[in-house]
Amino acid sequence: SSWNPDMVREGARIAAAEAAATGVRWTFAPMVDISRDARWGRIAESLGEDPYLASVLGAAMVKGFQGDDLSAPGSIAACVKHYAGYGASEAGRDYAATTIADNEMRNVYLPPFKAAADAGAATFMTSFGDIDGVPATGNDYLINGILRGEIGFEGLMISDWDSIGQLIIHGFCEDPTEAAKVAAEAGVDMDMMSSAFVDCLPALVREGQMDEAVLDTMARRVLTLKFK
């Protein structure tokens, strides 16, 4: 813990300049998961166990990566992860289940995400885990209800690596078609690696199983980020 948001912001600014110079304009950081179980391997990637510290440093990283204008040379889009409660995985087991009371979710795990959204983060990434039986990548209440509805985030939401496909492993969806539909309707705009969106969304829309307006909204968020 440096407790030095100016240093954190400057570190992110330098990383952004170096990445942008090679053509990389998007980074999967900051990771603002509150991490309190040292058995969890990703604790080293997090900003710590305190919601206030993670909020301040996470916002500083967002501002360092993005600056005042995403189109400026040396600016890259931040991606705040993993939304949400990933660090509460039972017994430190990665990709696993979490049980988080609403009070704890709102007062411990969500504040850093709100701070990052308030700082202007362009994108968010969903968590691998489930929260009280509902995987984050298919969690309409968590994404559309809280993040978009209450916090007011309007940017792009991407799944974590194959986390749409893992909706099946969690036992939440039967097949890739259902997983694609559930994730899209829950507010996920981009599918990292599972190919469920590419393989299944066109047929879901053609067959009338998913409103085309959902796809339009997803495409609009992706294109808006690209234009910015």
Instruction: Indicate which residues carry an active-site annotation.
Output: 160
Taking the C-alpha atoms of residue 56 and residue 38, their distance in angstroms, rounded to an integer, is: 22
Per-position b or e across 175-191, b if 16+ CB within 10 A of its CB: ebbbbbbbbbbbbbbbb
Taking the C-alpha atoms of residue 174 and residue 111, their distance in angstroms, rounded to an integer, is: 33
Transcribe 25-54 into DSSP letters: -B----B------TTSGGGGGS--S-HHHH
Burial class (CB in 10 A: 0-12, 13-18, 19+), 168: middle
Taking the C-alpha atoms of residue 68 and residue 10, their distance in angstroms, rounded to an integer, is: 14
Q: In the structure encoding, which two tokens stand for residue 210, read together?
A: 């998913």
Beta strands in 90-194 (DSSP E): 97-98, 123-126, 130-131, 134-135, 156-158
Let me know: does 46 contact 80? Beta carbons within 8 Å.
Answer: no
Cα distances (Å, whole numbers) of residue 11 to 61, 62, 188: 8, 11, 29
Instruction: Report which residue type is found at 125.
Output: M
